[in-house]
Amino acid sequence: MTSATALAPLSPFAMESPLGGALPDVRATPAEEIPAIVARARAAQREWSARTIEDRVRALRRVKDRVLDAGARIASVVSREVGKPEAEAWSAEVLGTADVVDYWCASIDEHLAEMAVSIDPIAYPGKRGTITRDPRGVVAVIAPWNFPFVLPLRTIVPALLAGNAVILKPSEIAPRSGALIADALAGLVPDDLFTLVQGGGEVGGALCAADVDLVAFTGSVATGRKVARACAERLVPCALELGGKDAAIVLADANLERAANGVVWGALTNAGQNCASIERVYVERSIEAAFTEKLLAVVRSLKSRDDVGPLATVRQCAIVREHVEDARAKGAKILAGGEAPEGSLAYPPTVLAVTGDDLAIMQDETFGPVIPIAVVENEDEAIARANASRFGLTASVWTGDIKRGARIARKLRAGVVTVNNHAFTGALPSAPWSGYGESGYGITNSPLALDALTRPRFTLLDRNGAARELWWYPYTATLLTVLSSMAVLRSGTSGLSAKLRALWNLVRAMPKRLGGG
């Protein structure tokens, strides 16, 4: 295990807690050390990938107990570092990680199992094909700050179990949470197989430029584009999980009590600093007043810090302020919140009534505790407006008719759609998490995540003892007869008489061809 040591400290804003007070110092990894770190990781990966899957599972399974036993410390560090309430840190970061380890340790053997390939025994006699999943190699994980413990582990755990080495760069805003991941893995895997590096964009850029085999990045669209360009230069794949502008559609037949509670949680959990936060609400006109009244009652019942923590950074707070002020200036009505003391990161839960989608708060990712509500006339308008976004991560439909909800879900441009719930499926390790458009094209969770973390290898075993194959040299008139006859027999438009003639020609020509004619 390599720890991060260097001369330069991380950026000053990573040294102050959103809850107040200084945080322990963290030192950055010099970018020039990255190539050597990758080289050591590659050497360790060769030995690790040669181990059986059972050996890898045996090593990684212990991570679960370590995380659960250290739950109070993890929740406290995460809360102090990014401001989220400890209850959210426990549920999402601690217990969520236990689920990740459980799922992958129980299922990785099945997901990596050799698969047989169907091969026509007549056209290709004596041949057997199999597909295996080989480890990608050295995987660089560049992680975000909003879920700084569990999100990296959703990639790290299956990556290691699949036989890869992993280099983790946590966000410079949440470096101490990244260090807790290193603690959870310490001594369980070989030296240099998992390496923690610390730093900002310079270190992330060095990782993308280094001899890694995959970059798994979660973060902003702007940085994701830079990662994609850097990886494209080296023809190295990258998995990008970027922003969201998730819509909730509340229909007239919805259970308004559940919808109000669910939308508030989906919008405000982690103070809205979630790529899957509800950032647009489309409500049918006939229930708008009743729904809004219930939603406001829920919002007003929330307690600062206990339920909704402060925003993590000054920059994020400024973005939220800008979006709310832009909406207000363009005619949006503030129904709750909307003001925060100057210099405070504790932006209050805010509800807006908006009339159109030509607002920053309806187009750009806000990443804060704001709920814009827009009225629609019917489900068709709701679907059209929900889909009119350059993002497409998650969406939700709230209705009393499950079949109707499922039908609408199929029309929504989103990688994850829930009916009568929102966002929580990211905590289901068996369910894929991905998106459309500027939400990126990475996948975490589910066996589909292994498509990035492994390379498919096809192996063909040929037991055919004949001197030559049908299609080998020499190319003769007999071969042309065989091939044209095969084409007629396989054609869906050839008549019966044509097929019978082709079969007769094939039967006569095949022995001669296999004899070399």
pLDDT band for 339, please (50, 70, 90 cuts): confident
Give the pLDDT mean for 260-271.
98
DSSP 12-66: GGGGB-TTSSB----BPPPGGGHHHHHHHHHHHHHHHHTS-HHHHHHHHTHHHHH
Q: Domain-by-domain residue ranges, the chain? A: 26-119+135-242+446-457, 246-427, 465-514
Give ∠ CA 249-82-34 in degrees, rounded to 5: 110
Give domain 246-427's CATH architecture: 3-Layer(aba) Sandwich (3.40)
pLDDT in tens, 89-143: 999 999 999 999 999 999 999 999 999 999 999 889 999 999 999 999 999 999 9
User: pLDDT value at position 319?
Assistant: 97
pLDDT for the residue numbered 122: 84
| E strand residue ranges, 293-393 | 333-336, 350-354, 370-376, 391-392
For the record, the structure tokens of 511 come out as 């022995």
Positions marked catalytic = 241, 275
**What tokens were used for 176?**
């101490």
Taking 90 as the threshold, does the pLDDT of residue 12 lie above it? no
Q: What type of residue sits at position 239? A: A
The yes-or-no verdict on residue 417 having pLDDT over 80 is yes
Is the predicted pLDDT of residue 2 greater than 80, yes or no?
no
Residue 10: pLDDT above 90?
A: no
Nearest to residue 236, comparing CAs of 215, 251, 263, 216?
215
368/122: higher pLDDT: 368
Residue 367 has pLDDT above 90, yes or no: yes
pLDDT of 8 higher than 70: no
Mean model confidence pLDDT for the chain: 96
Contacts of range 482-487, beta carbons closer than 8 Å, 24 or more positions apart: 482/506, 482/509, 482/510, 482/513, 485/509, 486/123
Convert the pLDDT of each residue in 285-326 to its tens digit.
Answer: 999 999 999 999 999 999 999 999 999 999 999 999 999 999
Cα dihedral sign, 47-458-53-188: positive
Q: For residue 478, name the pLDDT band (cuts at 50, 70, 90).
A: very high
- Distance (Å, whole) CA 356 – CA 282: 11
Crossing angle of helices 175-185/71-82, nearest 10°? Answer: 160
The total of other beta-carbon atoms located within 10 Å of residue 233's CB is 10
Question: So what's the pLDDT on residue 4?
Answer: 40
Please state, in angstroms and rounded to a whole number, the distance separating the CA atoms of residues 203 and 218: 15
| Longest Cα–Cα distance in the chain | 91
| CB-count exposure of residue 123 (10 Å: 0-12, 13-18, 19+) | exposed
Residue 64: closest CA among 12, 117, 105:
105
Q: How confident is the model at residue 5 (pLDDT cuts 50, 70, 90)?
A: very low
Arithmetic mean of pLDDT, 268-288: 98
Out of 107-116, 121-130, 163-172, 446-455, pick the least confident.
121-130
Q: Residue ranges of the alpha helices (H) in 334-439?
A: 360-363, 379-387, 402-409
Question: Residue 187: left if φ>0, alpha if ψ -120 to 50, beta else—which one?
Answer: left
Mean pLDDT of 470-480: 95
Query: Is 6's pLDDT higher than 50?
Result: no
* pTM, to two decimals: 0.95
**The domain at 26-119+135-242+446-457 falls in which architecture?**
3-Layer(aba) Sandwich (3.40)
Angle at 75 between CA 71 and CA 77, to 5 degrees: 115
* Mean pLDDT value of segment 442-468: 96
